[in-house]
Amino acid sequence: MTENDLDPARVARAREAFASVPYAKLIGLELGEISRGEVSIHLEVRDELRQNQGVVHGGAVASLIDTAAAFAVLTQLELNERVTTTDLTIHYLRPMSAGRLTATARIVRGGRRLFVLSVEVTNDQQVPVASAVTSYIKLQ
């Protein structure tokens, strides 16, 4: 899927929203592809993201996952709707110490209030690094 599968106004909204997230800038997240119910976000590994054993901190990977999922949900929301994470389960599959991580979030089910998503994180060679399931609820 590509941005062409999504209303251009929603793509623009997602890109503008992403550009306005200070935390995403702080850790170095880059918005990738956007399509209906699916978003990819990238993170280049650098020293500031490593823990004392030299591998990427799990919190950085969790932030990548959570942000990708939030923006996948954003593609399905109306302008006045807001969501928040209700849970996040991550399976760390292998450590990363260099390269680029890519999180691809896909909506598995979108209901009236609750969204369930699957997120896969891969390295430069498309090898799985982490896998997650998360859900978001619309705020009232």
Q: pTM of the predicted model, to two decimals?
A: 0.93
Cβ-contact 38, 105 below 8 angstroms: yes
CA distance 59 to 51: 10
CATH of the domain at 73: 3.10.129.10
The total number of structural domains in the chain stands at: 1
* Token pair for 38: 């699916």
The model's pLDDT over 45-73, given as tens digits with 9 standing for 90+, comes to 999 999 999 999 999 999 999 999 999 99
What is the span of the domain harbouring residue 48? 3-138
